[in-house]
């Protein structure tokens, strides 16, 4: 019986610690960025409202929009994007919803929350499973 009491107590501790670990690794939304007052590393999940290529600065500007209409201007290196995806951004290359990791610089003006320097564009695989299967080799 003592073994089960020890196991149950430990299980509770592990459960709480595990839940806190997992929730802390979840992605932030644009509205959650308002809590930052200084540049912070974030992993953000947002919808791409529009995309602009700035060739003279070798940059891509993604205008990200949150559910409440807040926006973030996110920048990514154009040449790096092309080397990863084979072409500049288009609807077929980048999902409408993305997960982005980078440094957020808060500068709230109107509904614009600030600027984000993207380090990684992460893509979930959910959309892949909406496509029919293919075979080949």
What is the binding site for another protein (CB under 8 A)? Answer: 3-4, 6-15, 17-19, 21-23, 25-27, 43, 45, 82-87, 92, 94-95, 99, 101, 120-137
Q: Which residues on adjacent β-strands are paired with residue 52?
A: 61
Considering beta carbons, is residue 37 or 92 the nearer one to another protein? 92
Instruction: List, in order, residues 6 or more apart from 85 with CB less than 8 Å away.
Output: 93, 94
Q: How far is the CB of 70 from another protein (least distance, A)?
A: 17
Instruction: List, in order, residues 6 or more apart from 87 with CB less than 8 Å away.
Output: 93
Considering beta carbons, is residue 37 or 68 the nearer one to another protein? 68
Considering beta carbons, is residue 100 or 113 the nearer one to another protein? 100
Q: Which residues on adjacent β-strands are paired with residue 84?
A: none
């Amino acid at each position: 019986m003592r073994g089960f009491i020890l196991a149950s107590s430990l299980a509770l501790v592990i459960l709480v610690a595990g839940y806190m670990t997992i929730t802390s690794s979840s992605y932030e939304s644009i509205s959650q960025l308002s809590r930052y007052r200084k540049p912070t590393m974030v992993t953000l999940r947002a919808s791409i409202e529009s995309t602009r290529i700035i060739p003279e600065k070798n940059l891509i500007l993604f205008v990200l929009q949150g559910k409440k209409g807040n926006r973030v201007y996110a920048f990514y290196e154009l040449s790096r994007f092309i080397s990863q995806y084979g072409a500049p951004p288009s609807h077929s290359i980048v999902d409408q919803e993305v997960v982005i990791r980078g440094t957020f610089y808060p500068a709230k003006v109107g509904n614009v929350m600030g600027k984000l320097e993207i380090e990684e564009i992460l893509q979930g695989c959910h959309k892949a499973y909406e496509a029919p299967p293919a075979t080949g080799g």
